[in-house]
Amino acid sequence: MADNKDIAVLAKKVYELSTLALDELEDRKWEALLIVNAAISSATADGVARTHADKEARWGAQIQEEGILSRLHPKWLLRTDDGKPPVIQHALESALDNPHRDLRTRLQALQFIAPAEREPLTDLARALATDAYAGARGDARDLFITRMRGLSKEWFKDPWLTVLPHDGKPPPVSILIENQGPTHDGGLHDDPSDDTTWETVKFGWADAIRTWDVDFLRDNPLSQLYLSVETAASTAGQVAAGANDAAKGIASLLGWTPYVLAAIAVLGLTTAALVGARR
C-alpha cells in the first residue's frame, strides 16, 4: 500500500476551506481551486468518478441554475451546508493508497502559485520535497543537497526554494523527481532492508571492518567461498606458477587450494590475516 502522507496536508486544507461561508470561500477561490485540483490529480480514476457523481447528485440542480461556467467553481467540491462531508472526500480517500501518483503533476501545480498565496500552501511544498527525496537514488540526493546549499545555508527552512526555478534552471526538486529508484551502492543512502543476498555480503565487508565484527569476518559466505582452512597443506604445492614468492609463502602456510590463487591479488594480506584468525 502506498504511504501518501501529504494527503493529510490536503485533507487539512480541504477541511479549513469547507468550514468557510460561501462569500468567504469566494474570496479564497483560487487557493481552493489549487487545493481541489491537487486532490483530483492525486486520486484514482474510481475516486474521481465517485467525486463527480456525488457532485451531480448533491449540487447538480443548483449548478444548472447558476449556469455552465459555475460548474468549474471549487465550491461544489467543498460545500458542506447540506450536512454531508465535502464531495472532494472521495478523491482524498482514494488518494491515500494510490500507488500511481505523479510527482511531476504535484510540482507543476506548486510552481504556478503566486508569491502572495504561497504561505498557506507551504506544507504542500514541504511534503513534495520530502516524498521526492525519500524515493530518489542516493546520487540524486547528494546532488540535490549540493544544489540547495548553493542557494541558501538555511534552505531547509523554506520549502519553496526546493520547488521553484532559480537562475533559469529547473526547480532543484526536479533532480529528485527525475531520478527515482532504489539505491544499492552501500553508501549513506542505501537502505539495507532491500539489499539482495550479494549486496548483503558485499557491503557487509565494509561494515564488518569498521566495527571489527569478528563473527562476520570469520563466517560470512564470501570468506567461505575463497578460504578453506580444512584443506590439506599438501595442496599448497599445486599453486599455479606466476604468483610472487610472498603469495606462494602465504598459500603454503595456510593451505589454500589452487583455485584461490586468482583471488590473492585482490584479497591481499588482509585475507591471510582473516584465515589465521579463523584457525
Contact 181, 137 (CB under 8 A): yes
Q: pLDDT at position 137, please?
A: 92
Report how far residue 121's alpha carbon sits from residue 153's, in angstroms, rounded to the nearest whole number: 23
Radius of gyration of the chain (CA): 30
Q: Which residues lie below 8 Å from residue 171, measured CB to CB, with a gap of 6+?
A: 107, 111, 162, 163, 164, 165
* Average pLDDT of the residues of the chain: 76
The grid coordinates listed for 229 are 582452512
Total-model pTM:
0.52
Averaged pLDDT for residues 165-190: 80
Side-chain-side CA neighbours of residue 271 (13 Å): 23
Note the residue count of the chain: 279
What are the pLDDT digits (tens) for 232-256? 344 444 444 444 454 444 444 444 4
Helix (H, G, I), strand (E, B) or coil at 180: strand
What are the pLDDT digits (tens) for 42-93? 899 999 999 999 999 999 999 999 998 889 999 999 999 999 999 999 999 9
CB atoms within 10 A of CB 40: 17
CB atoms within 10 A of CB 225: 11
Nearest 10 degrees: Cα torsion 49, 50, 53, 58? -150
Confidence of residue 189 (pLDDT cuts 50, 70, 90): very low
